[in-house]
Amino acid sequence: MTPSTGRQARRAARRDARRALPFLRRLLPTWRVVTGALLGALLLAVGAFAVLYVVVPLPDPNAQAVAQSNIYLYADGVTEIARTGAVNRTDVTIDEVPVVTRQAVVSAEDRTFYQNRGIDLKGMVRAGWNTLTGRGLQGGSTITQQYVKNYYLTQTQTVERKGREVLIALKVDRQRDKDEILTGYLNTSYFGRGAYGIQSAARAYYGVDVPELTLAQSAYLAALLQAPSAYDVRTATPANRAKAVARWHYTLDGMVQLGFLSATDRDAAVFPDPVEPQPATGLAGQAGYLVGVADDYLTAGGILDAATLKAGGWRITTTFEQDKQDAFTRAVHDELTAELDPAARPGTDTDVRVAGASVDPATGRVLAVHGGPDYARQPYNDALRQDNQIGSTFKPVDLAAALTAGRGSGDARPVTTETRYDGTSERPVTGAPTPYAPPNEDGTDYGSITLRQAMVRSVNSVYAQAGVDAGLARVRETALRLGIPADVPGLDPANPSMTLGTATPSALDLAGVYAALANHGEAHRPWSVSALARVNPGTGSAEVPRLPGHDPVTALDRSTADAVTDVLRDVISPQGTGAAALALGRPAAGKTGTTDANLSAWFAGYTPELATAVGLFRENPKTHAKEPLAGTAGYARINGGAFPTRIWTAYTAEVLDGTVVRSFDLEPGRDNGRPGGGETTSTPAGTTPAGASAAPTTTPPGAPAPAAGGTGTGGGATAPGTGGAPTAPAVPVPTAPRRPTATTGPVTPAATEPGRTTTAPEPSTPPAPTPQEPAQPQSTPSARPGSDRPGSTPPTTTPGRTPDPTRTAVPPPTTLKPPATAQPGSPPPP
């Protein structure tokens, strides 16, 4: 048999054997066919890659690398807020860059830089696998690829762009030496603070030229490349600061691993805190803060990355309304700033800061913010900072959780707004994970008191117990659904003090929470950009991303949210801590908040069409430690019912002036109304001119003034006819600071809001800050300029008995005025 005949025989045998197989088995290809197909595909891929490598040229630098401005507009789409975004870049040669700086960047970004050929296949495969397995979007780009992306391409995340990046990186690596590539990368990378390139970064973060950079400084700048804005430790949140420091350590460890640095020198390195950020030009007044809120929304939401946004060329239409923004600024000036005298009281009237935000409850649009006195002088956006405890403005969250818990205190009956609790001061909380016995304001005992009455007087012992009864995990879950971010400090269900407001959401976060209550439990994440476009559509290749939708999510069922609103209306009543808001003259609901040691004071409130939060605090501009508000404007104590409520009232009155007065459309559900069908009206419609001051008129002549003020308000008794609860003695109430004005006058007894009746006010005692865990001084700055969220190491809390600040604080000088509460025109204490 010849070889040819043998081959033919073997083929025939294989054909016969295959014909003998079952039909479905014959459909499967043989291993020879599979192997041939794979080899053919591989050859085609290699051939295609070779053709593309030859055909695809090195492009010109991308047009986005040319400096352009971002244009920010008010909600009308016409009025300009500011222009920003001119690229701050000064190119340097490789010889000007210290060797340790180059080594730090290589150690942080691409440890195979000097060995790879422009791409790192192993790193790309690892990044792809991590992405596919749900470990988050991973980057496997080399320094060469990042340089190509920065200089030649765009930041868009597409397969086509990534393919071009790989091809061009291979070409660049063959045509240029490593020093040239590294120089290009260092000159085009974004480091945050508007700084492009290593020279601008050295000036922005350390005030030096690049040749003067030290080892530790170089390692920090290298660490910034991963997350430029988030890792700026001068303005980062506590979590991001920790990540930035960890990245700094990673960089130094890499230098040791690669042989660039000895272990001894590495151990001697100390983290180099950068200098304070300097404000950009053209952002004076509130403009810089508005730009910051818009930038934060775009970058935190993943709509644009920080580098693409800062490169410029965007036309950004915001949701801010100029008339409301101007009204907020005027309210802060007229109700607070005008009463400060830093020259006469430098120890108390300096560095007083206001954080504020206003949101449309129906849509979530951010209508106005107050981020500080002037961005040109203070480039920290106080509206976004997350390091001030919110005190008793958190109690509505406790109430909402209690109403949905399905069980009462000590029995199985469902909780309602009229459920009674023991209001004894310093009563140990039953069932708490750690011992906790918070005092009421001034140590006042209330005896048996309803949740409604306890909210009006801000009784700590009641809401600490109600929160534990509802379940601290449920309280936290309710807070998250309403809009408090999960990562803010102080929202720990292992610590019962959470119930009294140890959480530190920003003013914008808090405004969103109260907007959800105003919107019957339907919550929006506050948003601040309504349109995004390229300034010059014909230049640059960056695509314009679509903005997300803004559908609400149900945070609470309507009956629960409306029951909370019904209770919060009573806070704005002659006997409530928010009595100063009666001057608004229209239906409103809200809650005051004052924290331990008088470190912050808050008022958050809403009408049917507007939700606004206002926070007040003092901060040392050098150490960024919080300082007590006591002594501000010459008053011994500043409560949430004073300046914050007055600012809220003045702002809300101006922006709603001339609009139709709307009542709350409430469906609070069964058993959540006033006993006997009567309800205390908050701010009835059509009685008091906007801007008029509030003074109780239902108190008989010579009787003590009703209480008002901070969230820790104590004193008073249950209303007559509510079951014979013990009555605490009433005492005179000190007044809130207020200058005489042409519009200031007493409040006329108000007509009743439809569907509501008035009852006589209940006596009350002077307010003071909510007893909270002591806040610790901040060790780092806690606000980002512009877009970034401020927040330094937050105050810590200690389980157990919370000290009463009115008994532990240093007595104020005798020259100070009485505590500032809520009621202008009330007599001072004897």
Provide the annotated active-site residues: 109, 392
Measured at the CA of 569, the angle between CA 566 and CA 573, to 5 degrees, comes to: 140
Residue whose structure tokens are 């107050």: 370
Query: What is the DSSP pairing of strand 314-318 with strand 70-73?
Result: parallel
DSSP state of 318: E
- What token pair was written down for 697? 């008129």
Nearest to 439 by CA among 454, 421, 427: 427
Scan for tokens 């890792």, then name that residue: 231
CA 143/CA 148 separation, integer angstroms: 9
Q: What is the DSSP letter of 63?
A: G
Q: How far is 798 from 638, CA to CA, in rounded Å?
A: 24
Cβ atoms of 216 and 110 within 8 Å: the answer is no
Which runs of E-coded beta strand occur in 465-528? 522-523
Q: DSSP assignment, residue 433?
A: S
Burial class of residue 531 in the structure, from the number of CB atoms within 10 Å of its CB (0-12 exposed, 13-18 middle, 19+ buried): middle
Query: Could you tell me if 677 and 358 are in contact, meaning their C-beta atoms sit under 8 angstroms apart?
Result: no
C-alpha 402 chain-centroid distance: 26
User: What's the CA gap between 265 and 261, in Å, rounded?
Assistant: 7
Residue appearing with tokens 């042409």: 742
CA–CA separation, 573 and 641 (whole Å):
12
Please list, residue by residue across 380-411, b when 16 or more beta carbons sit within 10 angstroms of its beta carbon and e when fewer do.
Answer: bbbbbbbbbbbbbbbbbbbbbbbbbbeebbee
Report DSSP state, residue 22: -
Taking the CB of residue 757, how many other CB atoms lie within 10 A of it? 13
- Backbone CA torsion sign across 177, 178, 180, 185: positive
Which residues make Cβ contacts (< 8 Å) with residue 110, sequence separation at least 6? 116, 120, 142, 143, 144
Burial annotation 629-654 (CB, 10 A radius, 16+ → b, else e): bbbbbbbbbbbbbbbbbbbbbbbbbb
At residue 249, φ and ψ (nearest 5 deg) are -65, -40
Q: Which helix (H) or strand (E) holds 406?
A: none
SS3 string, 727-774, reads CCCCCCCCCCCCCCCCCCCCCCCCCCCCCCCCCCCCCCCCCCCCCCCC
Q: Could you tell me which of 519, 238, 500, 240 has the C-alpha nearest to residue 361? A: 519
Number of other CB atoms surrounding residue 36 within 10 Å = 12
